[in-house]
Structure 1
Amino acid sequence: MQITTAFLSLVLLATSSISASPANVKYEEGLPITLARRAAFVNDDQEVDLDALSKHHRSLEQKYAKILDTYQKNTGHTHPLQKEKKSNQSQHMKRSSEEGQDGSLPLDNSEHATIWAGNVTFGGQTISVDFDTATVDTVVDHAAYDPSKSKTSKNTHKKFNENYGVGTSTDGIIYTDTAKIGGVKAENVAIGRANNDFFGKGHEPARGLCGLAFNSLQSFPSEYPPLFDALRKQHAVKQGVFQFTLKPKGDSSLQVGGLDKSKAKNGDFEWTKVKSSMGFWLIDATINDKPVTGIVDSSTTLIIGPDHEIEEVLKPIKGLTPKKKDGGTAYLYECDQEVKVTIQLGGVKFDLPKELVNYGKVDGKCMLPIMSETYMPLDSWLLGDTVFQMTTLAFDMDKKRLGVALQA
């Protein structure tokens, strides 16, 4: 029987619509891990440290450049979001010459940086790590993990080299060990032990980083599973889902293996499909009613957009003054001005409150939490801490979707 192009298109459209529809899934509650957030790049007088913020964004550029290379190595294809590589590399060179049971964790607010940290145990050794939804592997400081003190540690003799959004890079040896997080346990989980203390002073209490993205971004060899993947495959968690609820002035947590719906304002989540084939928690969103594609990234401070889209997004806001810094552009406004920024993730639409619209002060003016970055190696928005502070977000790896709710 001959199948017409029109008929095939209808089938594909129907399939797409079905897969995009929220499934009627019953979620377990899971267990919480307490999280601590390191402070933003703003001092006690609410002045923004643009030099430190620019350094953070340069390190994000390096991180994403390495991730895109890893994706190409793993898949054999250039990442669909990758910008033209040759011009991007020359820009970087120019700039560098110038300068068991489901569980959850509590997270803390630590000093002088921006990612959210909680405790993970490897081989009986408790390590505070930053949780990063845009990377995959777990890497810790040399002094944070001693394999000789663990009866379950195994040296794979495999080397790694990583770049991170915390402003550093490192290399070292991959081990496997028994890992525990929020009351759940998995065996033979990969952990990279750095050759130095790459997190260093200023990142306390965190001593490493734990990635929670999809495996096509995994830098370690595929036979060495990352933490959450091991928990899923060994059925240590009943469901492949985790939930971030980040409150700088309240109790922040990472819920593992289930959802705590009491943290959602209306008691439930609106679900949106994730483009997981690209490795990231990549979703369609709108900012000031402008459609954008964004990576939900817990290691990014602000909302960062491509140069060619930022003007349309900021057009509704009158009287903005651009402030350029090392390839990035911040946008300033008079502090007595009423500024409205509206964001929609899936079916959830919200206006940023005044305390989030104003990230801090620069040159006597207030700064938006939205910046453009010329040298980011990928053509996507980064939806960072500003978005997390308004919402509780459910990351469902099994169903490849993101649940969004305003915080209760």
Structure 2
Amino acid sequence: MPAAAFFVSLLSLTCALALPTQSTGIAIPIHKRIPPNTSPGVANIPSLRAQINKLTGKYATTLAAYKANTGQAYPIAASSTRNTTKRATSGGLMLTDAREELWFGTVSVGTPPRQYTIDFDTGSSDLFIPASSCMNCGSHTHYNPRLVSTSKYLGKTFQLVYGDGSTTSGELYSDTVTVAGLTATDQTLGAATSYSTSFETGPADGLMGLAFPSLSTYPASPFFNTLVSQKKVSAGVFSFFLAESGSELYLGGSNQARYKGPISWNTVTERGYWEIPLDSIQVDGETVVSGLQSIIDSGTTLIVGDDANVAAFYQAIPGSQDLSSIVGPGFYGFPCSSALSVSFTFGGKPFAINQQFFNLGSISEGSGTCVGALVAQDFGFWIAGDVFMRNVYSIFDFDNSRVGFAALA
């Protein structure tokens, strides 16, 4: 198939240099999984707690994979996080489960092809779907290698151990995987024989990681990297446009109809996560923290930072308060009536955060205190999830090891 740029259209999903001209893409519908709120305008506190637990486990897993693949600990990971990864490598990788907000769409696997709904995650690197032998995978579409002519058993197993004691585990195969008309052959994937509660009951059948190969727990080349090595795309670049409607994942470049103005480029600090410098954060035009490192993660809803700098951020907001005893450790609140002006500066360019994304809702019905989307957890780096990504067009460039942001069209 000729090398070309393709995009994946996401429905209900919410720099100074142009990329080469892209060809017309192929669109497939993708949706956003959103846990229901207790009532409109009220924060879903159990979901927020679960998201932090899941995030902690996810990074324990990928940090352990990085160390196993490179022979060294991830350079800027906090010592406490490194200790977690050591525990994670013994008897199965630790990962805490949650019914989190994630972006998902349809891919096909095998010959003849069968379609699966997959979460797209720039914070991890592996692909897994439920196996036909799975007894607790709910009503999901199952993968039966015996019915697929292109399937090959790799003689290896994988296991992810969740904080609630449940697991996602199974066997590794290689097969043909297609997204939006782009096909990777001999792609390593996990066929899960046991699923965690979240994947058992959630709308997505599995997950596809879009980070660097050094985070693979299998280890193996991630799907998009396989496309690049097999010359199925014209560029080792993919992009996200996250919005209330018409959103998309664009494989092979960027969709210039989705952004305007120059792209602010940021060099990747370490080829594992999509880690880049976060110059500074502003509240009401005043810089409150600066000199940070951040990971751009589509598989994370929240923005997460270290304790000291997150505390300094909220101190700049009149009436803010620590909500650790109400919502959970690291959460803060602010008056719902506040007209917040928050911006993140990458590559010398500030990007405003829309208040409707930063405000997660009041702590209870009728309360005047709202939960902020910036949460304190000491990973040793910051994590910018879709609360940030919804405000920009995000471009992930393997070819040049960089991440670009541009203003939305």
Corresponding residue of 1:361: 362
Q: Name the % identity.
A: 29
The equivalent of 1:62 in structure 2 is 57
Aligned to 2:106: 119
One-letter amino acid matched to 2:401: K
Q: 1:46 aligns with which of 41, 44, 62?
A: 41
Q: Displacement of 1:350 after TM fit? A: 2.6
Distance 2:249 2:172 in 1: 25
Question: In the alignment, which residue of structure 1 is the partner of 2:314?
Answer: 314
SS in 2 for 1:127: strand
SS at match of 2:260: coil
| Paired letter, 1:203 | G
8 A Cα contact 1:281 1:296, kept in partner: yes
Can you give the 5+ residue segments of structure 1 that lack an aligned partner in the other structure?
A: 1-20, 94-98, 100-111
Q: Distance in 2 between matches of 1:87 and 1:298?
A: 23
Question: What are the Cα deviations for residues 210-236 of structure 1, in whole angstroms up to 9, with x where unaligned?
Answer: 0000111111134xx321111000001
1:237 aligns with 2:238: no
For residue 22 of structure 2, what is the amino acid of its counterpart?
A: E
2:266 to 262, 267, 272: 272
CA–CA separation in structure 2 for the residues paired with 1:399 and 1:140: 31
Match of 1:296 in 2: 296
1:52 Cα offset (Å): 2.0
- Quick one: structure 1 residues 214 and 312, their matched pair in 2 at CA, closer, same or farther if it must change by over 3 Å? same
Measured in 2, the distance between the counterparts of 1:208 and 1:304 equals 25
Q: CA offsets, 1:150-208, max 9 Å, x none?
A: 1101111111123689996411101100111111112100110111233434421x110
- Output aligned runs, 1:6-405, within 5 Å: 25-29=19-23, 31=25, 32-39=27-34, 42-85=37-80, 89=84, 113-123=100-110, 124-143=113-132, 144-162=142-160, 169-198=167-196, 199-204=198-203, 206-222=204-220, 225-247=221-243, 249-266=244-261, 268-277=262-271, 279-285=272-278, 286-288=280-282, 289=287, 290-291=289-290, 292-324=292-324, 328-363=329-364, 364=367, 365-373=369-377, 378-405=379-406
Give me the TM-score of the superposition, normalised by structure 2.
Answer: 0.81
Mark the runs of 5 or more structure 2 residues left unpaired by the alignment.
Answer: 1-14, 89-95, 133-141
Q: Partner letter of residue 395 of structure 2?
A: A
Q: Secondary structure at the match of 1:329?
A: coil
Measure, in 2, the Cα distance between the counterparts of 1:178 and 1:164. Answer: 29
- SS of residue in 2 equivalent to 1:56: helix
Q: Structure 1 residues 171, 202: closer, same or farther in 2, change over 3 A?
A: closer
- Secondary structure of 1:342's match? strand
Q: SS state of the match for residue 371, structure 1?
A: strand
Q: Distance in 2 between matches of 1:60 and 1:159?
A: 23
Equivalenced residue count is 362
Task: Report the Cα offset of residue 44 of structure 1.
Answer: 3.8
| Cα pair distance change 1:87/1:181, threshold 3 Å | closer
**1:11 matched residue in structure 2:** none
Q: TM-score under structure 1 normalisation?
A: 0.81
Asked whether the equivalents of residues 139 and 194 of structure 1 are also in contact (C-alpha less than 8 Å), the reply is yes
Comparing both structures, which one devotes a greater share of its residues to helix? Answer: 1
**Is the 8 Å Cα contact of residues 59 and 168 (structure 1) preserved in structure 2?**
no
> Any idea what SS the aligned residue of 2:273 has?
coil
- The residue type paired with residue 322 of structure 1 is D
Cα shift at 1:24: 7.0
- Distance in 2, matches of 1:188 and 1:306, equals 40
CA shift at 1:328, angstroms? 2.3
